[in-house]
Structure formats: C-alpha cells, structure tokens
Amino acid sequence: MIILLAPVVGATAKAEETFNVAVRNRQFYAQTDATGNPVTFESALIQELCTAMKVTCKLQYLTFADVLDAVADGRADIGLASVIKTQDRERQYLFTDPYLTMNFVFIAKVGKFASIDDCMVPGRKIAVTKATSPYNFILTKPGLALTVVDDGADTIAAVNQDQVDCALTVTFRALSALLERGNKDAGLETVGNPFSPEGYSGGAGIIVPLHREELRDRLNVALKAALADGRYDALTNKFLPFSFY
C-alpha cells in the first residue's frame, strides 16, 4: 500500500523532491482515514516532517523487518518502525535524534509470574519479534525456548493462545495491547516493571541509508521544530495514551 503525501510549495523547496518512506504496517493505536488507509503515530509524524521539509513523501507500509531491509538496500529513503539505535544498526543506517523512548516488558497471564526473573528461568517459552532489540537481548539469556514471530502483536497472541509462557516486547506496544478488549478478557498483565538493559534499549530514531547525512540532518531540524512548537505533542495526544518521548 502506497500513500502519496502532497508537497507544500515554498521558495526553499527543491523542485520535484520526492522520498520513499517505509513505515511499519502494524502498530497499536492505529486509526484509518476516510479512504480506509491506516494512519498511525509514525505515519502521521512523518507526514508532519515531510510537510515541514516541503517535499513529497510516498509512504509504503511494511513489516518491521521489511522496513529495515528497504532502507538498507536503498528501496526506501526513510524508515519508521520504532527502531532502537544499537552499535550493529549504526553500521547499517543513519539515525535521527530519538522520537520515542523504548524500554522492554514481559507480558504473561495474570498471576502466573511475579517477577522478570520468573520469565527468564531456563526452559521458559518466550515469544519475541525477530530482528528487534528485545530479540537481540533475549538471545543473551541461555536455556530459553524462543518462539520468534514477525510482529509484536503476534507475541501477545502467542501468550493468549498458551503457546508460550511470556512475551517480551517494547513497553508502549505491551501497554497498548493490554488496553485492547480481547486481551483484557484473556487476563494478561505485565510482569514486574519495564526494564532497560544496557546496550539494547533506548531511543528510537528514524532511519535513513548510510551516507545520507543531509537527509538525516533535515529530518532532525524538522523533528526538533515539531517538538518545540507542540505539533509532536498534538500527535501524541491523538494517537497514544501518554507520551513515550
């Protein structure tokens, strides 16, 4: 699915400047527009930034892993998928300043486990999304039986369906999942408190291909302005239950 965002004409705009943008296709708190297309916090944010940059942006909705691949191989100029900056990823992408703060949390059936350590006992069955920071972190914990899925929503479903003991995901996805009626009925809860393992959690930035420093810098300028003038907060209030910045 591709959505074309019309450019705003201005004296400083470069003629016919167009960017291909890859956005994660499944995100909690998603809405739909009048034509039935998905509208998420991240798609609305990049629309604000593209308007501020006076450029045309073509949005394509992909899985998390496909967003990473599209930016890495140059099919996309810009990628938004709540990507946490890590040393490995910095060798593949340029990151803007953070637009979300990410930490991790386990989800399990109500009353099943009391602490984070309970979910990491050897032999526990854990659902985690592939090619994510939670996935990279959980690989460092020996003896766990991992179920690796394509999307964060699938980790929650695995707990709901008793396929795993716990799901490990980023906190804002976990909290939004628990607000959904179906998951309330299933009796899910967070296990312990959100945690931030060193080297695996932190700020999520917009990614662009290596050697695209000018584009990254322009995005940073637009993001900084949106944070300063209230447009970022307005999007947060529209799409999210509270600020994750």
Q: Which domains does the chain have, with CATH numbers?
A: 2-101+203-239 (3.40.190.10), 104-195 (3.40.190.10)
In the predicted model, is pLDDT for residue 37 greater than 60?
A: yes
Q: What's this model's pTM, rounded to 2 decimal places? A: 0.66
Give me the amino acid identity at 148.
Answer: V
Mean pLDDT of all residues in the chain? 85
pLDDT band at 170 (very low <50, low <70, confident <90, very high): confident
Give me the amino acid identity at 54.
Answer: K
Helix (H) or strand (E) holding 181: helix 181-186
- What token pair was written down for 68? 């990473």
pLDDT band at 29 (very low <50, low <70, confident <90, very high): low
In the predicted model, is pLDDT for residue 79 greater than 60?
A: yes
Please give the C-alpha separations between residue 222 and each of 54, 77, 230, in angstroms, as whole numbers: 10, 16, 12
The torsion angle over the Cα atoms of residues 52, 83, 100 and 116, rounded to 10 degrees, is 170
Look at residues 43, 37, 50 and name the one whose alpha carbon lies nearest to residue 82: 43
Q: How far is CA 167 from the centre of its chain?
A: 16
